[in-house]
Structure 1
Amino acid sequence: MSSTIALISSAVFDTILYPLNLVSNGTESVSSIYETIYSMQLVILRQNIAYISICLYLLWYIKAYLSKTDIIAKEGSLMHKMLDKFTAVHTGYRPTIWCFPAALNTIVFAFIQRCIKQEYEREILKADDGGLIAIDWVNLNAPKKVILIVFPGLTGCSRDNYVTHLVDKAVKEGCSAVVMNYRGIEVELTTPRTYCATDTSDLHMVVNHVHNKFKEHKIFAVGVSLGGIKLGGYLAKQYEDSLINFAMIVSAPMNTIYSCEELEKTHNFFMFNRHLSRSLSRYFSKYQHLFEADKRYDCAAIARCSSLREFDIRFVCKQFGYASCLDYYKDACLDAKIQNIKVPTIFLNAGDDMFSPARAFPVEKIKQNPYTAMVWTKYGGHISFCEGIMPTGCNYVCRLLKEYLHYVLNESNEIEKLIELERCNLKISSSLSDLSEETDEKELKFTLE
């Protein structure tokens, strides 16, 4: 800062002396001196604006770099004890200096993170309605008895850069990994049925298939964005009968109503909303012939959709039986399902994520459930969480996943004991609650008599 002030002072001093020297030497006219002074003032003004802008940006970055990564979890619970041992949580998220603002972070990540080549072994599963789902396996003969399942984002697949990095972490830990590709992605759509945030039937089928194929293995699931909504919905529906043993949900919108409102703001609409809706419209156009006979759909209008809400109204709601877009978004909200998750689950969310605004984070509900925890970073964008000078490799998501996976592999006995203890505590609490209600009813009956 002192060097900047010195530069500005020097420039001002030179501006005063230079025209005085010209006048004393008689080399310039008065008008040309005025022009010289004016041009030099413009140069100084531009320099000052540049210096001030750089200083303000650096101060903003320092604030972001030093911002605390918060743990949202029930005090003393399994999840709180687990996260307290993670170095990634204590060191926190350290954003890339030149692209840490949310929109820039998200866009840069999509283009700059390198894709790790994976030698996938493809398996095609057939659903009851005849629909096909492609799942891609890696490291099938891994020594560790833990399988990582990845559920990608809205239009994601096994070839996406962030997916290959998640798979790579599992492989390096000695685990098998499998990626679920949604209907019509990486395999032809054969029936007039696609996928949405609330439909977990295909996910359920994939989990059952993986469990039946490797019955002695534990299943560790990672859901990203839309995949996180689907995974959270599955865990809540299955309650204690879930075949998934551990879960991590990354950048999933906690309240899809708020998410839609945020994405319809002008800057987010042009950077993200319109792009995603066009991707979905292209997806529909590819398989339009399967839906043309159904009078519910205006195929030409669906192919021209310019927003996610419009696509959901014209296509998704009609296909999956929702009376309105609002009903669909309400059903997709994760914040209403947190209390039903009975599997150790870590949510990773950034406070500046335009797809999942911080005002929707169900902090109290997460704290009340001993099986859930949230790692809340102030910055990070959507999925991206870029780190390092050139964020082409491992990001914060990978760092956190690596430690979580490592803990599961090395502390499985301790985790099982803690889970059993949590279940006993919940049963005792439930019994006491029932006993209290029964006592209140008896007292009321006695009073009435």
Structure 2
Amino acid sequence: MWPSLFRKVRLAGPVSEVLTTADNDELHLDWHRQGSDRLAIISHGLEGHSRRPYVLGLARALLAEGWDVLAWNFRSCGGVMNRQPRFYHSGATDDLRLVVDHGLAQGYQTVFLSGFSMGGNLTLLYLGEQGEHVDSRVCGAVTYSVPCDLAGSADMLALPSRKIYMQRFLKDLRVKMGEKAQKFPDLIDVSGFDEIRNFHEFDDRYTAPLHGFRDAEDYWAQCSALGRLKDIRVPALMVNAADDPFLSPECFPESPSVLGAHVRLEAPKWGGHVGFVAHGSGGYYWSERRALAFLQGVAPLLK
């Protein structure tokens, strides 16, 4: 909770861009450019946005190392409601693919991906789907607090001890679904929303039908990155803290048959969910220093 409530990251304002999707929707992008030929693309978490402290903290660290940064907002995030009835979900790799392709089209020679929480699952799922066809300019990925087992994470957040987190998510989603119900009353009904207590109920009622899934279980099964990790063909680091209250035991895979040859799991004892508060030089959090160290490790592959 500490970074969310108290962390302030000073960073020059980004240049905003609106990217149109194939279904006539919009993705809102924040560009932090300094003329580099290397681009880092950052994906935020559930009900987050491109200007959250954890996004800006990583962006600041990457900028200091000579990278350009593109932080993007999922549909309906960042303070602008999207046009279509659909919003975002953990498997919306079509949107991430559009963002990556757009970044590559700017002429960058190297692209690095990072994602937090839901954005981490989305990043790894995208790379798994790309498999051997991933663009050669994509050098790797670092992800944090990844609910790669969506069903298990939904179970964890349904526990009474996680009620404070679940209530916060539902409070934000209640406002968002209310706005969508006004635009699409024939598709979205928020009557009885206050009776929803967990993601089992929310995803059954909203996420699954709005995005073409049979039900919550089908959505979780199709969109969990866990089963696609072995298909990833670029160096990828998944950092899941052992004390993360959102993650199920399945989110800490150790078997090479699950991780594959290119994914590495690190499970530090502390860190919480998108926390990793330990400070270092330059005011960087531990997670930001870890990302920079990872990039130094893959740098020889770029030469």
Instruction: Calculate the TM-score normalised by the size of structure 2.
Output: 0.92
Alignment partners' CA distance in 2, 1:154 and 1:246: 22
1:176 corresponding residue in structure 2: 68
SS in 2 for 1:150: strand
- Displacement of 1:369 in angstroms is 2.0
Is contact 1:351–1:358 with CA below 8 Å preserved after alignment?
A: no
2:90 corresponding residue in structure 1: 197
For residues 219-234 of structure 1, what are the structure 2 equivalents within 5 Å? 219-234=111-126
The residue type equivalent to 1:160 in the other structure is R
2:7 corresponding residue in structure 1: 113
Could you give the per-residue CA deviations for residues 83-109 of structure 1, whole angstroms, max 9, x where no partner exists?
xxxxxxxxxxxxxxxxxxxxxxxx122
1:141 corresponding residue in structure 2: 35
Asked if residue 396 in structure 1 is aligned to residue 253 in structure 2, the reply is no
Q: Which moved more, 1:353-362 or 1:258-267?
A: 353-362
Alignment partners' CA distance in 2, 1:191 and 1:132: 9
Query: Quick one: structure 1 residues 251 and 366, their matched pair in 2 at CA, closer, same or farther if it must change by over 3 Å?
Result: farther
2:301 corresponding residue in structure 1: 412
The residue type equivalent to 2:185 in the other structure is E
- Displacement of 1:120 in angstroms is 0.2
SS in 1 for 2:83: coil
- Displacement of 1:343 in angstroms is 1.2
The residue type equivalent to 2:89 in the other structure is C
Asked if residue 124 in structure 1 is aligned to residue 18 in structure 2, the reply is yes
Q: Which moved more, 1:300-309 or 1:350-359?
A: 300-309
Unaligned residue ranges in structure 1 (runs of 5+): 1-106, 415-449
- Displacement of 1:368 in angstroms is 5.9
Q: State which structure, 1 or 2, has the greater radius of gyration over its C-alpha atoms.
A: 1
Query: Quick one: structure 1 residues 278 and 401, their matched pair in 2 at CA, closer, same or farther if it must change by over 3 Å?
Result: same
Alignment partners' CA distance in 1, 2:271 and 2:249: 12
The residue type equivalent to 1:190 in the other structure is R
Query: Quick one: structure 1 residues 413 and 343, their matched pair in 2 at CA, closer, same or farther if it must change by over 3 Å?
Result: closer
Unaligned residue ranges in structure 2 (runs of 5+): none
Which segments of structure 1 move beyond 6 Å, counting only runs of 4 or more? none
Could you give the per-residue CA deviations for residues 113-144 of structure 1, whole angstroms, max 9, x where no partner exists?
223233200110001111000111002413xx
SS in 2 for 1:363: coil
Alignment partners' CA distance in 1, 2:295 and 2:61: 9
RMSD: 2.2
Could you give the per-residue CA deviations for residues 7-30 of structure 1, whole angstroms, max 9, x where no partner exists?
xxxxxxxxxxxxxxxxxxxxxxxx
Could you give the per-residue CA deviations for residues 339-390 of structure 1, whole angstroms, max 9, x where no partner exists?
111111011111111111334422103676221111111221111012159x
Could you give the per-residue CA deviations for residues 276-325 of structure 1, whole angstroms, max 9, x where no partner exists?
1211121222332222122xx32323476443322211110111122221
The residue type equivalent to 2:38 in the other structure is V
Is contact 1:197–1:229 with CA below 8 Å preserved after alignment?
A: yes
Is contact 1:338–1:366 with CA below 8 Å preserved after alignment?
A: no
Aligned match for 1:267, one of 149, 156, 161: 161
- Displacement of 1:179 in angstroms is 0.5
Asked if residue 206 in structure 1 is aligned to residue 96 in structure 2, the reply is no
Alignment partners' CA distance in 2, 1:180 and 1:131: 14
Asked if residue 278 in structure 1 is aligned to residue 153 in structure 2, the reply is no
Query: Quick one: structure 1 residues 108 and 412, their matched pair in 2 at CA, closer, same or farther if it must change by over 3 Å?
Result: same
Aligned match for 1:380, one of 268, 271, 289: 271
Instruction: Calculate the TM-score normalised by the size of structure 1.
Output: 0.63
Is contact 2:90–2:224 with CA below 8 Å preserved after alignment?
A: no
* Aligned positions, number: 300
The residue type equivalent to 2:84 in the other structure is T
Alignment partners' CA distance in 1, 2:259 and 2:213: 31
- Displacement of 1:153 in angstroms is 0.3
Could you give the per-residue CA deviations for residues 185-223 of structure 1, whole angstroms, max 9, x where no partner exists?
233312222111112111111111111112x42110001
SS in 1 for 2:222: helix
Alignment partners' CA distance in 2, 1:353 and 1:366: 24
1:248 corresponding residue in structure 2: 142
Alignment partners' CA distance in 2, 1:342 and 1:362: 18
Query: Quick one: structure 1 residues 304 and 208, their matched pair in 2 at CA, closer, same or farther if it must change by over 3 Å?
Result: farther
Of Structure 1 and Structure 2, which has the larger fraction of its residues in helix?
Answer: 1
Query: Quick one: structure 1 residues 368 and 193, their matched pair in 2 at CA, closer, same or farther if it must change by over 3 Å?
Result: closer
For residues 321-400 of structure 1, what are the structure 2 equivalents within 5 Å? 321-365=212-256, 369-388=260-279, 393-400=283-290
- Displacement of 1:330 in angstroms is 1.6
Is contact 2:97–2:126 with CA below 8 Å preserved after alignment?
A: yes
Query: Quick one: structure 1 residues 165 and 223, their matched pair in 2 at CA, closer, same or farther if it must change by over 3 Å?
Result: same
Point out which structure has higher relative CO (alpha carbons under 8 A, 6+ apart). Answer: 1
Is contact 1:281–1:305 with CA below 8 Å preserved after alignment?
A: no
1:14 corresponding residue in structure 2: none
Is contact 1:131–1:193 with CA below 8 Å preserved after alignment?
A: no
Is contact 1:118–1:164 with CA below 8 Å preserved after alignment?
A: no
SS in 2 for 1:252: coil
SS in 2 for 1:133: strand
Alignment partners' CA distance in 2, 1:385 and 1:132: 32
Identity %: 24
Could you give the per-residue CA deviations for residues 373-425 of structure 1, whole angstroms, max 9, x where no partner exists?
11111221111012159xx942211110121233444x2357xxxxxxxxxxx
Alignment partners' CA distance in 1, 2:131 and 2:87: 26
Is contact 1:291–1:299 with CA below 8 Å preserved after alignment?
A: no
SS in 1 for 2:213: coil
